[in-house]
Amino acid sequence: MSNKLEIYVKENRKAFDVNEPPVGLWDKIEKKLDTKPRKKSLRLYLWMSVAASLIAVFGLFWLYTVKTQSRDISIADVNEAIAKKDNHFSGLIEEKRDSLAIFAAANPDLYKKFTEDLKKLDADYERLKNELPVTPNQLFVVKAMVRNREIQLQLLKQQLMILNQVDDYKKVNQI
């Protein structure tokens, strides 16, 4: 089989040589392969980098401003009537705490126990206050905050009543 092919190529050699490539074709191809790529792709890369950086900076700035605005929310921003109620309860709580402090000298152990209970409620109130800016249902959290204040006020009233009873008992037993 290969002999037939060799014979055919030898007999038709001149027909194969007719379609030869031009003499300088390979030199032209080599020159094009050796040239460096254009700088347009570098410019495009540079502009894309600048654009991505600007988008990142503006995105971070926007996130920062949204976060700082949402942290400054108060009860009055959610519901004005509930805010007035909370302020009223806060004032009453301060009065009752002052009254409770007066009895502290006479019953320090009892006063210490009472303040521990109040500290727990205060911690719950602060947790709710911190949760307020990030919660989707702010009205629910505000109502819970006011309910916490109501519970604090009731607890203080009970504590004052207990202290009055203790003082009355001490007075009766001394006479």
Report residue 129's pLDDT band, with 50, 70 and 90 as the boundaries.
confident
Instruction: Check whether residue 98 and residue 15 sit in a common domain.
Output: no
Radius of gyration of the chain (CA): 44
Give 12-48 pLDDT, tens digit per residue.
777 766 667 777 877 888 777 766 655 566 677 788 8
Report the percent of the chain where pLDDT is more than 90. Answer: 3
Distance from chain centroid for Cα 58: 17
pLDDT of residue 141 exceeding 70, the answer is yes
Instruction: Check whether residue 86 and residue 144 sit in a common domain.
Output: yes
Range with the poorest average pLDDT among 54-63, 67-76, 111-120, 152-161: 67-76
Write down the pLDDT at residue 55: 92
Q: Containing H/E element for 2?
A: helix 2-11
Give the structural domain span for 113. 74-174
Give the chain's domain count. Answer: 2
Domain boundary among 70, 104, 129: 70
Instruction: Check whether residue 52 and residue 87 sit in a common domain.
Output: no
- What dihedral do alpha carbons 138, 140, 145, 147 form, nearest 10°? 160
Instruction: Check whether residue 18 and residue 59 sit in a common domain.
Output: yes
Report residue 1's pLDDT band, with 50, 70 and 90 as the boundaries.
low
**Pairwise pLDDT comparison (34 vs 170), residue with the higher score:** 170
First vs last Cα of the chain: how many Å apart? 139
Domain boundary among 9, 36, 70: 70
Structure tokens of 150? 């109501």
Range with the poorest average pLDDT among 36-40, 115-119, 131-135: 36-40
Rounded mean pLDDT, 162-169: 81
Instruction: Check whether residue 65 and residue 95 sit in a common domain.
Output: no
Instruction: Check whether residue 105 and residue 156 sit in a common domain.
Output: yes
φ/ψ of residue 28, rounded to 5: -65, -40
Instruction: Check whether residue 56 and residue 79 sit in a common domain.
Output: no
Instruction: Check whether residue 87 and residue 106 sit in a common domain.
Output: yes
pLDDT of residue 175 exceeding 60, the answer is no
Instruction: Check whether residue 31 and residue 80 sit in a common domain.
Output: no
Domain boundary among 70, 86, 102: 70
Instruction: Check whether residue 50 and residue 90 sit in a common domain.
Output: no
User: Is 160 in contact with 100 (CB distance < 8 Å)?
Assistant: yes
Write down the pLDDT at residue 35: 66
Report residue 136's pLDDT band, with 50, 70 and 90 as the boundaries.
confident
User: Is 94 in contact with 153 (CB distance < 8 Å)?
Assistant: no
Instruction: Check whether residue 66 and residue 84 sit in a common domain.
Output: no
Rounded mean pLDDT, 49-57: 90
Task: Report pTM.
Answer: 0.54
Residue with tokens 């003082």: 167
Structure tokens of 34? 């050796």
Instruction: Check whether residue 95 and residue 164 sit in a common domain.
Output: yes
Rounded mean pLDDT, 2-7: 82
